[in-house]
Amino acid sequence: MIFEFVGPKARHHVAAVFGYSWSLGTAAVALMAYLTRSWRNYAIASLVPTLAVLLLVHLPFMAPETPRWLLSRGRKRAAGRIVRQMLLDNGRTDEQANAAVKELLGDSGDGKTTASDGRHSMRRSLGLLARSPRLLLRYGIVCFDWFLVVAVYFGISMGAKNLPGSIFVTSCLIGIVDLPSYLIMHLAAGRLGRKTTFIGAASGSGLALLGLAAASHLLRDLTWLIIALSLLGKMLNSTAFAIIYIWTGELYATNMRSSGLSTSSMCARFGTLFAPLLGNIRDFIPGEFGPLVSYAVFAGSSFLAAAISFAVPETRGVDIPDSVEDLINKVRCE
């Protein structure tokens, strides 16, 4: 949703701000657990910010509908009102705001007859996608990427208790390490592109986790090295996790973006189902090879995510199609 409020050049900036907040919230979980020391007290403490967020997002001025989505549904006047208010809030004059809204609305009133007015039902959109093997392959790869990246992300997080030192400290570090990961994404997404950033981050995470697998088996006494490699692997995996949000949102047409992201997120939830197993696989493999197998699986998952992503196109600076038909026509021209 937040990506639809800004243009192509600003999407990664918005995603970075979201990521910084995510990182601080993850670190705050460890702090709250340390202070409460009881799941009941922790549940009560976490209820306060949850209720605050639920109240805020239901305020119209806090989370209005996106103009791009309204335009894709043919609701030009509603989109015009939101755009006008955005322009006024950003220091534009009434004349400038009215001119921009007039340009947006054009001469077609509510725009009920435009090609992107949302008259295509979801069933028709899915039917069009089903007749495009290239798009089906592309979205299948993206969904599998979500599965792999999220499985590694939460697997490392849930395996924090197996790292040397205090579980509260290591959990806090694993949350804080997301800050530099989003900074890397912030700097690289606009310069290197979404695809290059994702492949580089996933590959780097795989290398760090492969080193962690070797260190946990051969250099168990070097506690600092094990923790450092774990944090490095988590940081680069978080970078891949951050950029895939932007990349996925830019791969879908506007009238299917919410459905596409929901499908990708559903695949990610399957990854979270495997995360506890991967993070604690040492409990099922006796002897010294448990950590080795666990981190080797993480590394292999990261390498696989990077390898299959070469088949997905770059989206940096690319205009997002409003409809599935526009997207299919664009793919045919590639």
pLDDT exceeds 60 at position 224: yes
pLDDT at 107: 45
- State what percent of residues in the chain have pLDDT above 70: 83
pLDDT at 310: 95
Q: How far apart are CA 110 and CA 46, in angstroms?
A: 44
pLDDT at 119: 46
Show the tokens assigned to 136. Answer: 């089906």
Q: What is the DSSP string of 2-17?
A: GGGGS-GGGHHHHHHH
Q: Which DSSP state fits 315? A: -
pLDDT band at 302 (very low <50, low <70, confident <90, very high): very high
Which range of 61-75, 106-120, 139-153 scores highest in mean pLDDT? It is 139-153
The answer to whether residues 250 and 318 touch, using CB atoms and an 8 Å cutoff, is: yes
**Selected residue with higher pLDDT from 120 and 269:** 269
Mean pLDDT of 21-43: 83
pLDDT exceeds 80 at position 185: yes
pLDDT exceeds 80 at position 5: no
pLDDT exceeds 70 at position 251: yes
CATH 1.20.1250.20, applies to 122-333: yes
pLDDT exceeds 60 at position 110: no
**Distance from chain centroid for Cα 53:** 19
Residue indicated by tokens 């605050």: 52
pLDDT at 233: 92
Give SS3 for 281: helix
Mean pLDDT of 113-123: 48
Residue indicated by tokens 């599965």: 147
Question: What pTM value is reported for the model?
Answer: 0.72
**Selected residue with higher pLDDT from 141 and 30:** 141
pLDDT exceeds 60 at position 115: no
Q: How far apart are CA 301 and CA 186, in angstroms?
A: 24
For 288, phi then psi, to 5°, come to -85, -5
Following CA atoms 83, 89, 90, 91 in sequence, which dihedral angle do they give, to the nearest 10 degrees? 120
**Selected residue with higher pLDDT from 286 and 244:** 244
Q: How far apart are CA 139 and CA 287, in angstroms?
A: 40
Mean pLDDT of 28-36: 85
Following CA atoms 198, 200, 202, 204 in sequence, which dihedral angle do they give, to the nearest 10 degrees? -160
- The residue type of 277 is L
pLDDT band at 109 (very low <50, low <70, confident <90, very high): very low
Kindly provide the b/e burial profile for residues 145-171, where b requires at least 16 CB atoms within 10 angstroms of the residue's own CB: bbbbbbbbbbbbbbbbebbeeeeeebb
pLDDT at 196: 94
First to last CA, the chain: 27
Supply the mean pLDDT for the chain: 80
pLDDT band at 300 (very low <50, low <70, confident <90, very high): very high
Q: How far apart are CA 195 and CA 247, in angstroms?
A: 8
pLDDT exceeds 80 at position 176: yes
**Distance from chain centroid for Cα 76:** 29
pLDDT exceeds 60 at position 117: no
